[in-house]
């Protein structure tokens, strides 16, 4: 029995990564990777879409959070390991792939044809909405906190001292790096716990705290979330909600609150193992529960 064969008995977020997969992961965290542009997880033997990434082939084709992928290029992927399914969706930019989609409310599966592309994940985008600053974070890579800080500085200068507050849009944000989630939360907080990670043993618990300095100068903040808000973006939402630093608006988030530790294996790639779970400052687990908004607002998705 090989290591690769043994690991699928663990949760779907744990896996052996060969040298190629390990390299792909490193590229992803730097903010650029190849593919169709969807964050996925495994559920009931099918691939479930956490969210499409802004501006990617999947997003342009109308793939939605909660969609399930039953087949790739006409081949059923029921029971296939998650990494194998992901590999089948990858390919050279310009090549085509067809996904068979199961969607709640649709009676029959349907096919979506996609043209693969290099996916660029922007750290942040922003714009002025009257006297309110709007900032969109589509993911959490190495550029995210820096992008947020630059966006806020730009909005302060553009709107001036009359700025009333900020909207932080984390809808369909599939998450990413823990340290970036902590830094983004810290950017809005002056003190207090941001998140804790709790493992099998109590001595494994780690707590991360905010430092003095609020880049918005204490202005009101609204955070937008939905069912595609997951992982790192749930850490930010939970921290700002528990500290009553922001009003959370939208629908309940995805509930991906597990921590993956990556163990490098040199030229053999690496191991990605689930080792802990995320807890908000008030002690609530994010896993499978998500963040409940302060104000629930349903959004029609075209």
- Residues labelled as active-site residues: 231, 242, 256
- Indicate the DSSP class of residue 53: P
Q: At 154, which helix (H) or strand (E)?
A: helix 144-159
Query: Could you identify the residue written with the tokens 């080792």?
Result: 275
Closest CA to 218 of 241, 185, 190: 190
Closest CA to 28 of 175, 141, 164: 141
Taking the C-alpha atoms of residue 292 and residue 249, their distance in angstroms, rounded to an integer, is: 9
Q: Parallel, antiparallel, or unpaired for β 247-250 and 295-296?
A: parallel
Asked if residues 133 and 124 have their Cβ atoms less than 8 Å apart, the reply is: no
Q: Is 260 exposed, middle or buried (0-12, 13-18, 19+ CB in 10 A)?
A: middle
Closest CA to 250 of 292, 191, 194: 292
Q: Is 51 exposed, middle or buried (0-12, 13-18, 19+ CB in 10 A)?
A: buried
Taking the C-alpha atoms of residue 199 and residue 201, their distance in angstroms, rounded to an integer, is: 6
Could you give the C-alpha distances from 93 to 31, 252, 287, 288, in angstroms and in order? 17, 34, 34, 34
Which phi and psi angles does 153 have, rounded to 5°? -60, -40
């Amino acid at each position: 029995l090989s290591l690769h064969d043994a690991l699928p008995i663990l949760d779907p977020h744990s896996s052996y990564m060969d040298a190629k997969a390990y390299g792909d992961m490193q590229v992803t965290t730097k903010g650029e990777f190849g593919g169709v542009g969807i964050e996925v997880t495994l559920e009931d033997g099918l691939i479930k879409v956490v969210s499409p990434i802004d501006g990617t082939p999947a997003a342009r084709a109308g793939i939605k959070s909660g969609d399930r992928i039953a087949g790739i290029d006409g081949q059923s992927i029921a029971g296939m390991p998650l990494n194998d399914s992901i590999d089948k969706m990858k390919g050279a930019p310009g090549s085509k792939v067809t996904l068979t989609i199961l969607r709640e409310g649709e009676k029959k599966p349907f096919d979506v044809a996609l043209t693969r592309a290099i996916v660029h994940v922007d750290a942040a985008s922003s714009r002025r909405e009257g006297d309110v600053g709007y900032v969109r974070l589509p993911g959490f890579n190495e550029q995210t906190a820096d992008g947020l800080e630059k966006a806020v500085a730009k909005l302060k200068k553009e709107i001036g001292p009359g700025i009333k507050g900020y909207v932080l849009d984390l809808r369909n944000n599939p998450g990413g790096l823990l340290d970036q989630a902590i830094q983004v939360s810290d950017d809005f907080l002056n003190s207090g716990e941001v998140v804790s990670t709790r493992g099998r043993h109590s001595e494994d618990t780690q707590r991360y705290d905010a430092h003095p300095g609020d880049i918005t100068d204490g202005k009101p903040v609204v955070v937008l979330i939905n069912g595609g808000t997951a992982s790192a973006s749930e850490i930010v939402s939970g921290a700002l909600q528990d500290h009553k630093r922001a009003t959370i608006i939208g629908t309940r988030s995805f509930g991906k609150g597990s921590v993956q530790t990556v163990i490098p294996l040199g030229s053999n790639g690496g191991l990605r193992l689930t080792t802990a779970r995320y807890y908000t400052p008030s002690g609530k687990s994010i896993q499978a529960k998500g963040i409940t908004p302060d104000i629930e607002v349903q959004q029609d998705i075209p």
